């Protein structure tokens, strides 16, 4: 039997950043899903960057998709920036879709963090 959490995750898997052919759940943008016993849903999510051109639309789309579930009474989508999103949060399926082998962070000899993306190929599949 499908759970309410699975319903919410299924709805979130229909929300895409228009520039990325991977849904927000597989991208690792969804940090938490909380469901109360009365049909209330709270989702904590982030975006790949505060400067994301779709920053105003993605949370609205997520809220509307969840609100369309027949048992949902109330939805709140909170955009949080801590912890910041990194490519390590992507599922293996998302990395494959985007053609990434892996993404790593490391400390440079100067003590700064470096983000390295190792790209298998420049694939950008269609949704």
Number of domains in the chain: 2
Q: What pTM, to 2 d.p., does this model score?
A: 0.77
Instruction: For Cα atoms 14, 20, 26, give the angle at the middle one, nearest 5 degrees.
Output: 50
Number of helical (H) and strand (E) elements in the chain, helices listed first: 3, 5
Residue whose C-alpha is closest to residue 84's, from 57, 115, 48, 56: 48
Question: Which domain does 70 fall in, by range?
Answer: 4-79
What is the per-residue pLDDT across 7-62, written as a single tens digit (0 to 9) for each? 999 999 999 988 888 999 999 999 999 999 899 999 999 999 888 888 899 999 99
User: Taking a C-beta distance cutoff of 8 angstroms, is the pair 117, 100 a contact?
Assistant: yes
- Whether 75 and 93 map to the same domain: the answer is no
- Whether 59 and 10 map to the same domain: the answer is yes
Whether 95 is covered by a domain: the verdict is yes
The CATH number of the domain holding residue 16 is: 3.30.300.130
Q: State residue 50's pLDDT score.
A: 87
């Amino acid at each position: 039997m499908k759970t309410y959490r699975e319903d919410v995750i299924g709805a979130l898997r229909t929300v895409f950043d228009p520039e990325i052919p991977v849904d927000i759940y597989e991208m690792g943008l969804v940090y938490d899903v909380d469901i109360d016993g009365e049909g209330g849903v709270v989702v904590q999510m982030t975006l790949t960057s505060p400067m994301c051109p779709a920053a105003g639309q993605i949370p609205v789309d997520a809220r509307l998709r969840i609100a369309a579930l027949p048992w949902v009474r109330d939805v709140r989508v909170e955009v949080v920036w801590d912890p910041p999103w990194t490519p390590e949060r992507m599922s293996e399926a998302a990395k494959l879709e985007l053609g990434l082998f892996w993404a790593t962070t490391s400390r440079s000899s100067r003590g700064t963090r470096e983000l390295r993306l190792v790209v298998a190929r420049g694939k950008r599949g269609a949704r």
